[in-house]
C-alpha cells in the first residue's frame, strides 16, 4: 500500500504539475492570441484612418489647384488658337501670293502671246508691203 500511496502521490503531484503547466501554457497562448488580435485590429483602424486622411489631403490639393489648372488650360487654348489663326493666315497669304503670281504669269504669257501674234501679223504685213514695193519698183 505504501507503493500505492507513493504512486498516487506521485501521480497526483505529476497531474497537478501538468495541470499547472498546461494552465500556464493555455493562458499564455490565449494572451498571445488576444494581443495579436488587438494589434491586428489596431493596425487595420490605423491604416483606414491613414487612407482616409490621405484621400482627404489629395482632394484638398486637387480642389485648391483646380482654378489654376483651368486658367492654364484656357491660356493654352487661347495661345493655340492664335497660333492656328496665324498659321491659317500665313497659308491664306501664301495661297493669295501663289494665285497672284500665277495670275501675273498668265497675264504676262497672254501678253507675250498677243505681242508675238502682233509680231507675226506685223511681219506678215511688212512682207506684203515689201512685196508691193518691190513689185512697184520692178514696173
What is the SS3 string spanning the chain?
CHHHHHHHHHHHHHHHHHHHHHHHHHHHHHHHHHHHHHHHHHHHHHHHHHHHHHHHHHHHHHHHHHHHHHHHHHHHHHHHHHHHHHHHHHHHHHHHHHHHHHHHHHHHHHHHHHHHHHHHHHHHHHHHHHHHHHHHHHC
Residues 6-60 have pLDDT tens digits of 444 555 777 888 788 888 888 999 999 999 999 999 999 999 999 999 999 999 9
What's the whole-number average pLDDT of the chain?
Answer: 76
For residue 71, name the pLDDT band (cuts at 50, 70, 90): very high
The C-alpha angle 125, 130, 134, rounded to 5 degrees, equals 150
Taking the domains of the chain in order of start, what are their residue ranges?
Answer: 55-103
pTM of the model: 0.36
- The whole-number pLDDT of residue 113 equals 60
State yes or no: pLDDT of 139 exceeds 60. Answer: no
Amino acid at each position: 500500500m505504501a507503493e500505492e500511496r507513493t504512486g498516487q502521490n506521485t501521480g497526483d503531484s505529476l497531474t497537478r504539475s501538468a495541470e499547472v503547466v498546461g494552465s500556464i501554457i493555455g493562458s499564455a497562448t490565449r494572451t498571445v492570441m488576444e494581443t495579436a488580435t488587438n494589434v491586428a485590429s489596431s493596425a487595420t483602424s490605423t491604416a483606414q484612418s491613414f487612407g482616409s486622411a490621405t484621400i482627404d489631403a489629395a482632394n484638398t490639393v486637387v480642389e485648391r489647384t483646380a482654378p489654376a489648372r483651368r486658367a492654364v488650360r484656357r491660356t493654352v487654348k487661347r495661345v493655340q488658337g492664335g497660333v492656328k489663326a496665324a498659321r491659317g493666315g500665313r497659308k491664306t497669304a501664301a495661297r493669295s501670293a501663289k494665285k497672284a503670281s500665277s495670275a501675273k504669269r498668265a497675264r504676262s504669257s497672254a501678253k507675250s502671246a498677243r505681242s508675238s501674234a502682233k509680231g507675226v501679223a506685223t511681219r506678215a504685213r511688212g512682207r506684203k508691203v515689201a512685196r508691193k514695193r518691190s513689185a512697184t519698183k520692178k514696173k
